Amino acid sequence: MALKIAKNLTDSLRGAQPSREVAARTYLVKETDPLVKTVLDGRYRVLSRIGEGSMSTVYKGQHELTGRIVAIKVLRREFSMDEDSTRRFRREVKAISTLSHPYLIAVHDVGTTMAGQPYQVIEYLQGQSLADVIQQRGALDPQRSARIVSHICDAMEHAHSKGVIHRDLKPENVMLTNFGGKPDYVKVVDFGIVKLTKESQLVSQRLTTTGEVWGSPQYASPEQCMGQDLDRRSDIYSLGLVLYEALTGKPAVSGKGIGQIAVKHVRERPASFDAACPGHRIPPQLEAATFKAIEKDPARRFQTMAEMRDALELLFPGIGAAAEPPAVDHQVSSEQPGQQTAGMASGRQTIPSSAQLARVAGSAAVGKGQATVAGDALSASSNIQEPATDQSQQIGRQPATKQSGNVLKSGGGAPSLQTILIVAAVVSALALIAVLLMVMGRQ
* Catalytic residue set: 168
Is-contact 111 41, C-beta < 8 A? yes
* Three-class secondary structure of residue 163 per DSSP: coil
Alpha carbons 305 and 322: distance in angstroms, whole number:
17
Length of the chain, please?
A: 443
Alpha carbons 108 and 123: distance in angstroms, whole number:
7
- Strand pairing category for 118-123 and 107-112: antiparallel
Is-contact 385 402, C-beta < 8 A? no
Alpha carbons 393 and 49: distance in angstroms, whole number:
37
- 3-class secondary structure for 286-309? HHHHHHHHCCCCHHHCCCCHHHHH
In terms of Cβ atoms closer than 10 Å to its own Cβ (0-12, 13-18, 19+), residue 370 is: exposed
Alpha carbons 76 and 301: distance in angstroms, whole number:
38
In terms of Cβ atoms closer than 10 Å to its own Cβ (0-12, 13-18, 19+), residue 407 is: exposed
φ, ψ for residue 112 (rounded to 5)? -135, 135
From residue 374, how far is each of 232, 284, 382, 435 by CA, in Å? Answer: 28, 28, 9, 50
Q: What is the DSSP letter of 180?
A: T
In terms of Cβ atoms closer than 10 Å to its own Cβ (0-12, 13-18, 19+), residue 79 is: buried
In this structure, the number of other CB atoms found within 10 A of the CB of residue 287 comes to: 17
Question: C-alpha 69: how far from its chain's center?
Answer: 23
- Strand pairing category for 370-373 and 406-409: antiparallel
The vertex-274 CA angle with 290 and 305, nearest 5°, equals 5
Residues forming beta bridges with residue 174, ordered by sequence position: 188
